[in-house]
Structure 1
Amino acid sequence: MARNKLIDPAYAHSRALPRPVGVWVAGVVAVVVVIATLVALTSRGGEQESATPPTDPGPTNAQNPAIPAPDPSKVHKPTDPDWLTAAPTGLVWRSVPNVVLQLPFSPADGPLKVDEAKGTATGYSHTPQGAVIAADQITRRLVMDSTNYTNVLAATTGLSATARANLEKVHANSDALRPQLGPDTPKHFTAFKVVSYLPNQATIQYAFPAPFAGSFSSNQVTVVWADNDWKVAAEPTDSKVINDLNGFTPVGG
Protein backbone atom coordinates (compact mmCIF):
# COMPACT_ATOMS: atom_id res chain seq x y z
CA MET A 1 0.00 0.00 0.00
CA ALA A 2 1.31 3.46 -0.82
CA ARG A 3 2.62 5.46 2.11
CA ASN A 4 1.71 9.04 2.88
CA LYS A 5 4.89 11.05 3.44
CA LEU A 6 4.65 14.14 5.59
CA ILE A 7 5.87 17.49 4.37
CA ASP A 8 6.68 18.95 7.75
CA PRO A 9 8.83 16.61 9.91
CA ALA A 10 7.61 18.42 13.02
CA TYR A 11 4.46 16.34 12.74
CA ALA A 12 6.24 13.04 12.16
CA HIS A 13 6.93 10.34 14.75
CA SER A 14 10.21 9.46 13.08
CA ARG A 15 13.04 11.48 11.61
CA ALA A 16 11.61 11.51 8.12
CA LEU A 17 12.98 14.19 5.81
CA PRO A 18 10.65 16.97 4.61
CA ARG A 19 8.72 16.16 1.46
CA PRO A 20 9.43 18.59 -1.41
CA VAL A 21 6.50 20.87 -2.19
CA GLY A 22 6.52 19.85 -5.84
CA VAL A 23 5.83 16.23 -4.92
CA TRP A 24 2.83 17.22 -2.84
CA VAL A 25 1.55 19.21 -5.82
CA ALA A 26 1.93 16.11 -7.96
CA GLY A 27 -0.14 14.19 -5.44
CA VAL A 28 -2.93 16.74 -5.54
CA VAL A 29 -2.86 16.80 -9.34
CA ALA A 30 -3.02 13.00 -9.32
CA VAL A 31 -6.25 13.14 -7.34
CA VAL A 32 -7.71 15.58 -9.85
CA VAL A 33 -6.68 13.41 -12.79
CA VAL A 34 -8.19 10.31 -11.16
CA ILE A 35 -11.50 12.08 -10.57
CA ALA A 36 -11.48 13.48 -14.09
CA THR A 37 -10.89 9.98 -15.46
CA LEU A 38 -13.75 8.63 -13.37
CA VAL A 39 -16.01 11.37 -14.68
CA ALA A 40 -15.11 10.56 -18.26
CA LEU A 41 -15.67 6.84 -17.79
CA THR A 42 -18.98 7.19 -16.00
CA SER A 43 -20.20 9.68 -18.59
CA ARG A 44 -19.74 6.91 -21.05
CA GLY A 45 -21.35 4.00 -19.48
CA GLY A 46 -13.10 14.34 21.72
CA GLU A 47 -11.99 18.04 21.77
CA GLN A 48 -13.81 20.61 19.79
CA GLU A 49 -13.80 24.31 19.09
CA SER A 50 -16.72 26.41 20.25
CA ALA A 51 -19.67 26.13 17.92
CA THR A 52 -20.04 29.05 15.56
CA PRO A 53 -23.02 29.56 13.26
CA PRO A 54 -22.08 29.06 9.60
CA THR A 55 -21.50 32.14 7.48
CA ASP A 56 -23.25 32.18 4.11
CA PRO A 57 -23.91 28.41 4.03
CA GLY A 58 -25.16 28.50 0.44
CA PRO A 59 -28.30 26.91 -0.99
CA THR A 60 -30.49 24.68 1.18
CA ASN A 61 -33.39 22.58 -0.05
CA ALA A 62 -34.74 19.04 0.12
CA GLN A 63 -31.88 17.77 -2.05
CA ASN A 64 -29.28 19.84 -0.23
CA PRO A 65 -29.85 19.67 3.54
CA ALA A 66 -28.83 22.43 5.91
CA ILE A 67 -25.62 22.20 7.89
CA PRO A 68 -26.62 20.36 11.10
CA ALA A 69 -26.65 22.23 14.39
CA PRO A 70 -23.63 21.36 16.59
CA ASP A 71 -24.14 18.63 19.17
CA PRO A 72 -20.88 17.94 21.05
CA SER A 73 -22.63 15.40 23.30
CA LYS A 74 -22.50 12.88 20.45
CA VAL A 75 -18.73 12.97 19.94
CA HIS A 76 -17.22 9.49 20.17
CA LYS A 77 -14.89 8.61 23.05
CA PRO A 78 -11.71 6.50 23.03
CA THR A 79 -13.48 4.02 25.31
CA ASP A 80 -16.18 3.35 22.71
CA PRO A 81 -15.81 -0.11 21.15
CA ASP A 82 -16.24 1.40 17.68
CA TRP A 83 -13.83 4.30 18.30
CA LEU A 84 -11.89 3.60 15.09
CA THR A 85 -14.69 2.22 12.96
CA ALA A 86 -17.82 4.28 13.68
CA ALA A 87 -19.08 6.63 10.99
CA PRO A 88 -19.34 10.34 11.86
CA THR A 89 -22.51 10.98 13.86
CA GLY A 90 -25.55 12.33 12.00
CA LEU A 91 -23.64 12.55 8.72
CA VAL A 92 -25.25 14.63 5.96
CA TRP A 93 -23.97 15.35 2.47
CA ARG A 94 -24.09 18.85 1.15
CA SER A 95 -23.30 20.65 -2.09
CA VAL A 96 -21.30 23.82 -1.52
CA PRO A 97 -20.34 26.67 -3.85
CA ASN A 98 -17.40 26.09 -6.20
CA VAL A 99 -16.82 22.44 -5.16
CA VAL A 100 -17.76 19.64 -7.54
CA LEU A 101 -18.38 16.76 -5.11
CA GLN A 102 -20.70 16.83 -2.11
CA LEU A 103 -19.02 17.32 1.27
CA PRO A 104 -19.72 15.66 4.64
CA PHE A 105 -21.08 17.50 7.69
CA SER A 106 -21.76 16.15 11.19
CA PRO A 107 -23.35 17.80 14.25
CA ALA A 108 -20.78 16.07 16.45
CA ASP A 109 -17.67 15.96 14.28
CA GLY A 110 -17.83 19.18 12.29
CA PRO A 111 -17.00 21.32 10.61
CA LEU A 112 -18.27 23.80 13.19
CA LYS A 113 -17.09 26.93 11.42
CA VAL A 114 -18.10 27.27 7.78
CA ASP A 115 -17.56 30.36 5.67
CA GLU A 116 -18.53 29.55 2.10
CA ALA A 117 -17.76 33.12 1.07
CA LYS A 118 -14.12 32.26 1.76
CA GLY A 119 -14.48 28.57 0.93
CA THR A 120 -13.22 27.45 4.33
CA ALA A 121 -14.51 24.87 6.79
CA THR A 122 -12.83 24.36 10.17
CA GLY A 123 -13.60 23.04 13.64
CA TYR A 124 -13.48 19.24 13.65
CA SER A 125 -13.76 16.86 16.59
CA HIS A 126 -10.47 15.49 17.89
CA THR A 127 -11.53 11.96 16.99
CA PRO A 128 -11.14 9.49 14.12
CA GLN A 129 -14.55 10.63 12.87
CA GLY A 130 -13.44 14.26 12.87
CA ALA A 131 -10.34 13.26 10.92
CA VAL A 132 -12.49 11.43 8.35
CA ILE A 133 -14.57 14.54 7.68
CA ALA A 134 -11.64 16.96 7.78
CA ALA A 135 -9.46 15.03 5.34
CA ASP A 136 -12.25 14.85 2.78
CA GLN A 137 -13.52 18.41 3.28
CA ILE A 138 -10.07 19.97 3.01
CA THR A 139 -8.83 17.85 0.11
CA ARG A 140 -11.93 18.40 -2.01
CA ARG A 141 -11.98 22.14 -1.35
CA LEU A 142 -8.26 22.41 -2.04
CA VAL A 143 -8.29 20.35 -5.23
CA MET A 144 -11.54 21.63 -6.69
CA ASP A 145 -12.24 25.14 -5.41
CA SER A 146 -10.23 27.42 -7.67
CA THR A 147 -12.09 30.51 -6.47
CA ASN A 148 -11.11 30.17 -2.82
CA TYR A 149 -7.91 28.19 -3.20
CA THR A 150 -5.69 30.64 -1.32
CA ASN A 151 -8.07 30.83 1.66
CA VAL A 152 -8.36 27.05 1.93
CA LEU A 153 -4.62 26.59 1.58
CA ALA A 154 -3.84 29.08 4.34
CA ALA A 155 -6.56 28.07 6.81
CA THR A 156 -6.64 24.28 6.60
CA THR A 157 -3.18 22.98 5.68
CA GLY A 158 -0.07 22.67 7.83
CA LEU A 159 2.25 24.28 5.32
CA SER A 160 4.71 27.13 5.64
CA ALA A 161 4.08 30.48 3.96
CA THR A 162 6.82 29.69 1.44
CA ALA A 163 5.30 26.33 0.59
CA ARG A 164 1.87 27.89 0.21
CA ALA A 165 3.26 30.57 -2.10
CA ASN A 166 4.90 27.94 -4.29
CA LEU A 167 1.69 25.94 -4.48
CA GLU A 168 -0.27 29.04 -5.43
CA LYS A 169 2.05 29.56 -8.41
CA VAL A 170 1.40 26.01 -9.59
CA HIS A 171 -2.32 26.35 -8.95
CA ALA A 172 -2.56 29.46 -11.13
CA ASN A 173 -2.03 27.27 -14.19
CA SER A 174 -4.02 24.21 -13.09
CA ASP A 175 -7.67 25.23 -13.54
CA ALA A 176 -7.93 23.21 -16.75
CA LEU A 177 -7.45 20.04 -14.68
CA ARG A 178 -10.55 20.61 -12.56
CA PRO A 179 -13.17 17.96 -13.35
CA GLN A 180 -16.86 18.39 -14.09
CA LEU A 181 -19.47 16.15 -12.52
CA GLY A 182 -21.16 13.70 -14.90
CA PRO A 183 -24.69 12.32 -14.31
CA ASP A 184 -23.37 8.93 -13.11
CA THR A 185 -20.35 10.14 -11.19
CA PRO A 186 -20.40 9.27 -7.46
CA LYS A 187 -21.28 12.40 -5.51
CA HIS A 188 -19.05 11.50 -2.53
CA PHE A 189 -17.07 8.64 -0.99
CA THR A 190 -18.94 5.41 -0.27
CA ALA A 191 -16.84 4.07 2.60
CA PHE A 192 -13.75 4.84 4.63
CA LYS A 193 -11.10 3.11 6.69
CA VAL A 194 -9.00 4.61 9.48
CA VAL A 195 -5.61 3.26 8.44
CA SER A 196 -3.83 4.76 11.44
CA TYR A 197 -4.78 7.07 14.28
CA LEU A 198 -2.74 8.92 16.89
CA PRO A 199 -3.77 12.04 18.82
CA ASN A 200 -1.72 14.25 16.50
CA GLN A 201 -1.92 12.38 13.19
CA ALA A 202 -4.38 10.23 11.26
CA THR A 203 -4.43 8.57 7.87
CA ILE A 204 -7.80 7.92 6.24
CA GLN A 205 -8.51 5.73 3.20
CA TYR A 206 -11.56 6.52 1.08
CA ALA A 207 -13.47 4.40 -1.43
CA PHE A 208 -15.53 5.74 -4.34
CA PRO A 209 -17.64 3.51 -6.61
CA ALA A 210 -15.71 2.86 -9.81
CA PRO A 211 -17.40 2.52 -13.21
CA PHE A 212 -16.68 -1.21 -13.23
CA ALA A 213 -19.14 -3.40 -11.30
CA GLY A 214 -17.88 -4.41 -7.88
CA SER A 215 -14.79 -2.20 -7.92
CA PHE A 216 -13.87 0.99 -6.10
CA SER A 217 -11.42 3.83 -6.58
CA SER A 218 -9.46 4.41 -3.39
CA ASN A 219 -6.92 6.89 -2.07
CA GLN A 220 -5.51 7.98 1.30
CA VAL A 221 -5.14 11.38 2.97
CA THR A 222 -3.10 12.20 6.08
CA VAL A 223 -4.09 14.95 8.49
CA VAL A 224 -2.38 16.31 11.59
CA TRP A 225 -3.79 17.90 14.73
CA ALA A 226 -2.41 21.45 14.86
CA ASP A 227 -3.79 24.69 16.29
CA ASN A 228 -6.64 22.70 17.86
CA ASP A 229 -7.92 21.36 14.56
CA TRP A 230 -7.24 18.78 11.86
CA LYS A 231 -5.22 20.02 8.89
CA VAL A 232 -3.96 18.34 5.75
CA ALA A 233 -0.16 18.16 5.85
CA ALA A 234 0.71 15.28 3.54
CA GLU A 235 0.30 14.46 -0.10
CA PRO A 236 -2.73 12.34 -1.03
CA THR A 237 -1.71 8.95 -2.33
CA ASP A 238 -2.34 8.07 -5.95
CA SER A 239 -5.73 6.48 -6.47
CA LYS A 240 -5.91 2.72 -6.95
CA VAL A 241 -8.67 0.24 -7.72
CA ILE A 242 -9.84 -2.14 -4.98
CA ASN A 243 -12.33 -4.96 -5.43
CA ASP A 244 -14.00 -5.11 -2.01
CA LEU A 245 -14.66 -3.02 1.06
CA ASN A 246 -13.40 -5.42 3.70
CA GLY A 247 -12.42 -3.43 6.76
CA PHE A 248 -14.16 -0.28 5.52
CA THR A 249 -17.02 1.55 7.22
CA PRO A 250 -19.87 2.30 4.78
CA VAL A 251 -21.55 5.71 4.79
CA GLY A 252 -25.03 6.57 3.62
CA GLY A 253 -26.31 9.39 1.47
Structure 2
Amino acid sequence: MRKTAILPRTFLALAVALTATACGLSDTPPAAPTSAPLDPHRAPADIRWEPWQGVNLPYGRTDGPSKVSEAALGYTHTPQGAALAAIQHRVRISLAPDATWARLASQALMPGPGKDAWVMARAQVSLTQPASPVMAPRITAYKFTTYTADRSNLIVYSTYSDNSITANNETVVWSSGDWRLLLPDPATKTKVVESVSEIPPDVVRLPSPT
Protein backbone atom coordinates (compact mmCIF):
# COMPACT_ATOMS: atom_id res chain seq x y z
CA MET A 1 0.00 0.00 0.00
CA ARG A 2 1.35 3.42 -0.95
CA LYS A 3 2.04 5.66 2.00
CA THR A 4 1.45 9.39 1.87
CA ALA A 5 4.44 11.56 2.79
CA ILE A 6 3.63 14.39 5.17
CA LEU A 7 5.59 17.23 6.71
CA PRO A 8 4.70 17.90 10.36
CA ARG A 9 3.45 21.44 10.85
CA THR A 10 2.78 21.28 14.58
CA PHE A 11 3.47 18.61 17.14
CA LEU A 12 -0.27 17.97 17.44
CA ALA A 13 -1.23 17.89 13.78
CA LEU A 14 -0.53 14.23 13.10
CA ALA A 15 -1.82 12.75 16.35
CA VAL A 16 -5.05 14.73 16.34
CA ALA A 17 -5.80 13.89 12.71
CA LEU A 18 -5.09 10.21 13.26
CA THR A 19 -7.15 10.03 16.42
CA ALA A 20 -10.08 11.69 14.67
CA THR A 21 -9.96 9.18 11.81
CA ALA A 22 -9.47 6.41 13.56
CA CYS A 23 0.05 -4.00 22.31
CA GLY A 24 1.69 -4.58 24.88
CA LEU A 25 3.11 -2.42 27.68
CA SER A 26 6.70 -2.13 28.79
CA ASP A 27 7.59 -3.13 32.34
CA THR A 28 9.99 -0.20 32.71
CA PRO A 29 10.41 0.71 36.39
CA PRO A 30 9.32 4.23 37.31
CA ALA A 31 11.68 6.97 38.37
CA ALA A 32 12.63 7.13 42.05
CA PRO A 33 9.66 8.26 44.18
CA THR A 34 9.63 11.72 45.62
CA SER A 35 9.06 12.47 49.31
CA ALA A 36 7.20 15.72 48.57
CA PRO A 37 3.44 15.79 49.30
CA LEU A 38 1.22 15.09 46.30
CA ASP A 39 0.23 18.53 45.03
CA PRO A 40 -1.13 18.88 41.48
CA HIS A 41 -0.40 22.62 41.64
CA ARG A 42 3.34 22.15 42.21
CA ALA A 43 5.58 22.33 39.15
CA PRO A 44 8.06 19.50 38.50
CA ALA A 45 11.41 20.27 40.12
CA ASP A 46 14.68 20.76 38.28
CA ILE A 47 13.30 20.82 34.75
CA ARG A 48 15.73 20.68 31.85
CA TRP A 49 14.82 20.85 28.18
CA GLU A 50 16.14 18.69 25.38
CA PRO A 51 15.25 18.93 21.68
CA TRP A 52 13.54 16.02 19.98
CA GLN A 53 12.24 16.11 16.40
CA GLY A 54 12.33 19.90 16.47
CA VAL A 55 10.46 20.34 19.77
CA ASN A 56 11.98 21.07 23.18
CA LEU A 57 10.74 18.49 25.70
CA PRO A 58 10.82 18.82 29.51
CA TYR A 59 12.70 16.32 31.68
CA GLY A 60 12.46 16.30 35.46
CA ARG A 61 15.50 15.28 37.49
CA THR A 62 13.19 13.64 40.05
CA ASP A 63 9.93 13.00 38.23
CA GLY A 64 11.17 11.53 34.95
CA PRO A 65 11.43 10.30 32.35
CA SER A 66 14.29 8.13 33.53
CA LYS A 67 14.59 5.89 30.47
CA VAL A 68 14.42 7.15 26.89
CA SER A 69 14.60 5.15 23.67
CA GLU A 70 11.73 5.33 21.18
CA ALA A 71 9.44 6.14 24.12
CA ALA A 72 10.23 8.20 27.19
CA LEU A 73 9.39 6.09 30.25
CA GLY A 74 9.99 5.97 33.98
CA TYR A 75 7.88 8.60 35.80
CA THR A 76 7.11 9.09 39.44
CA HIS A 77 3.64 8.12 40.63
CA THR A 78 2.83 11.77 41.27
CA PRO A 79 1.00 14.64 39.55
CA GLN A 80 4.34 15.92 38.30
CA GLY A 81 5.21 12.55 36.77
CA ALA A 82 1.76 12.37 35.17
CA ALA A 83 2.13 15.81 33.60
CA LEU A 84 5.57 15.10 32.19
CA ALA A 85 4.37 11.76 30.82
CA ALA A 86 1.39 13.36 29.09
CA ILE A 87 3.62 15.94 27.42
CA GLN A 88 6.33 13.51 26.39
CA HIS A 89 3.96 10.84 25.07
CA ARG A 90 1.84 13.28 23.05
CA VAL A 91 4.79 14.95 21.33
CA ARG A 92 6.49 11.65 20.61
CA ILE A 93 3.48 9.93 19.06
CA SER A 94 2.85 13.07 17.01
CA LEU A 95 6.35 13.29 15.53
CA ALA A 96 7.75 9.75 15.74
CA PRO A 97 9.34 8.84 12.39
CA ASP A 98 8.35 5.80 10.38
CA ALA A 99 11.08 3.55 11.78
CA THR A 100 10.09 3.97 15.45
CA TRP A 101 6.42 4.85 15.82
CA ALA A 102 5.14 1.28 16.21
CA ARG A 103 7.47 0.43 19.08
CA LEU A 104 6.80 3.79 20.71
CA ALA A 105 3.05 3.18 20.56
CA SER A 106 3.41 -0.26 22.14
CA GLN A 107 5.25 1.26 25.10
CA ALA A 108 3.54 4.62 25.60
CA LEU A 109 -0.14 4.07 24.72
CA MET A 110 -2.83 2.29 26.68
CA PRO A 111 -4.65 -0.46 24.77
CA GLY A 112 -8.13 0.43 23.59
CA PRO A 113 -10.17 1.79 20.69
CA GLY A 114 -8.22 5.05 20.64
CA LYS A 115 -4.88 3.32 20.25
CA ASP A 116 -6.26 0.88 17.68
CA ALA A 117 -7.64 3.70 15.55
CA TRP A 118 -4.42 5.71 15.81
CA VAL A 119 -2.24 2.74 14.82
CA MET A 120 -4.40 1.93 11.81
CA ALA A 121 -4.34 5.52 10.59
CA ARG A 122 -0.64 6.09 11.31
CA ALA A 123 0.27 3.08 9.18
CA GLN A 124 -1.18 4.85 6.15
CA VAL A 125 1.13 7.89 6.27
CA SER A 126 4.84 8.59 6.25
CA LEU A 127 6.63 11.02 8.54
CA THR A 128 10.36 11.48 8.12
CA GLN A 129 11.10 15.11 9.04
CA PRO A 130 11.08 17.00 12.35
CA ALA A 131 8.86 19.99 13.01
CA SER A 132 10.17 23.18 11.45
CA PRO A 133 11.44 25.90 13.84
CA VAL A 134 8.64 28.22 12.75
CA MET A 135 5.87 25.70 13.43
CA ALA A 136 7.28 23.91 16.47
CA PRO A 137 5.34 24.65 19.67
CA ARG A 138 6.73 25.69 23.01
CA ILE A 139 5.19 23.70 25.86
CA THR A 140 4.17 26.47 28.22
CA ALA A 141 1.91 25.24 31.02
CA TYR A 142 -0.59 22.63 32.14
CA LYS A 143 -3.54 22.27 34.47
CA PHE A 144 -5.11 19.15 35.97
CA THR A 145 -8.86 18.84 35.68
CA THR A 146 -8.76 15.63 37.73
CA TYR A 147 -5.93 13.77 39.44
CA THR A 148 -6.11 10.34 41.00
CA ALA A 149 -3.45 7.71 41.56
CA ASP A 150 -4.94 5.58 38.77
CA ARG A 151 -6.05 8.04 36.10
CA SER A 152 -5.57 11.74 35.52
CA ASN A 153 -6.88 14.33 33.09
CA LEU A 154 -5.08 17.53 32.26
CA ILE A 155 -4.89 20.35 29.75
CA VAL A 156 -1.49 21.13 28.22
CA TYR A 157 -0.97 24.62 26.80
CA SER A 158 1.45 25.40 23.98
CA THR A 159 2.42 28.65 22.30
CA TYR A 160 3.66 29.23 18.77
CA SER A 161 5.82 31.72 16.94
CA ASP A 162 2.75 33.65 15.75
CA ASN A 163 1.59 34.00 19.40
CA SER A 164 -1.28 31.57 18.92
CA ILE A 165 -2.10 29.19 21.78
CA THR A 166 -3.48 25.66 21.82
CA ALA A 167 -4.99 23.67 24.67
CA ASN A 168 -4.58 19.90 24.47
CA ASN A 169 -6.80 17.60 26.54
CA GLU A 170 -4.83 14.57 27.74
CA THR A 171 -5.54 11.50 29.85
CA VAL A 172 -2.84 9.34 31.42
CA VAL A 173 -3.36 6.05 33.23
CA TRP A 174 -1.05 4.40 35.77
CA SER A 175 -0.37 0.93 34.35
CA SER A 176 2.48 -1.57 34.70
CA GLY A 177 4.36 0.80 36.98
CA ASP A 178 4.27 3.88 34.76
CA TRP A 179 2.06 6.58 33.26
CA ARG A 180 0.68 5.74 29.79
CA LEU A 181 -1.28 7.95 27.42
CA LEU A 182 -4.92 6.98 26.84
CA LEU A 183 -6.19 8.16 23.46
CA PRO A 184 -9.93 8.83 23.30
CA ASP A 185 -12.29 6.39 21.63
CA PRO A 186 -13.11 7.91 18.21
CA ALA A 187 -16.76 7.03 18.78
CA THR A 188 -16.95 9.60 21.60
CA LYS A 189 -15.86 12.42 19.25
CA THR A 190 -13.79 13.90 22.06
CA LYS A 191 -12.18 17.22 21.18
CA VAL A 192 -8.47 16.70 21.76
CA VAL A 193 -7.06 20.10 20.84
CA GLU A 194 -8.51 23.57 20.49
CA SER A 195 -7.30 27.11 20.00
CA VAL A 196 -7.61 29.46 22.97
CA SER A 197 -7.11 33.19 23.28
CA GLU A 198 -5.07 33.07 26.48
CA ILE A 199 -3.62 30.78 29.12
CA PRO A 200 -5.67 30.93 32.32
CA PRO A 201 -4.02 32.15 35.52
CA ASP A 202 -4.52 28.93 37.51
CA VAL A 203 -2.06 26.80 35.52
CA VAL A 204 1.27 25.24 36.41
CA ARG A 205 3.84 27.23 34.45
CA LEU A 206 6.89 25.50 33.06
CA PRO A 207 10.21 27.35 32.87
CA SER A 208 11.23 28.56 29.44
CA PRO A 209 13.91 26.57 27.61
CA THR A 210 17.27 28.32 27.76
TM-score normalised by structure 1 residue count: 0.62
Q: Aligned pair 1:124/2:75, yes or no?
A: yes
Q: Distance in 2 between matches of 1:153 and 1:219?
A: 19
Q: Distance in 1 between matches of 2:11 and 2:74?
A: 27
* 2:180 aligned counterpart, secondary structure: strand
Higher helix share: 1
Q: Distance in 1 between matches of 2:11 and 2:59?
A: 25
2:3 matched to which residue of 1? Answer: none
Q: 1:75 to 1:124 in 2, by over 3 A?
A: farther
Give RMSD over aligned pairs.
3.2
Counterpart selection for 1:188 from 138, 148, 155: 138
| Contact 2:154-2:169 at 8 Å conserved across structures | yes
Shift, 1:100, TM fit: 3.2
Q: Aligned pair 1:200/2:150, yes or no?
A: yes
Unaligned stretches of 5+ residues in structure 2? 1-9, 18-27, 185-190
Q: Which has the larger radius of gyration?
A: 1
TM-score normalised by structure 2 residue count: 0.73
Counterpart selection for 2:103 from 148, 151, 156: 151
Q: Aligned pair 1:242/2:197, yes or no?
A: yes
Q: Distance in 1 between matches of 2:50 and 2:115?
A: 28
Unaligned stretches of 5+ residues in structure 1? 1-28, 37-47, 52-71
Shift, 1:76, TM fit: 3.2
Higher strand share: 2
Counterpart selection for 1:32 from 7, 10, 13: 13
1:77 matched to which residue of 2? Answer: 37
Q: Distance in 2 between matches of 1:239 and 1:137?
A: 19
* 2:146 aligned counterpart, secondary structure: strand
| Contact 2:51-2:57 at 8 Å conserved across structures | yes
Matched residues, percent identical?
22
| Contact 1:195-1:205 at 8 Å conserved across structures | yes
* 1:111 aligned counterpart, secondary structure: coil
Q: 1:223 to 1:174 in 2, by over 3 A?
A: same
Q: Distance in 2 between matches of 1:129 and 1:196?
A: 13
Counterpart selection for 1:226 from 171, 175, 185: 175
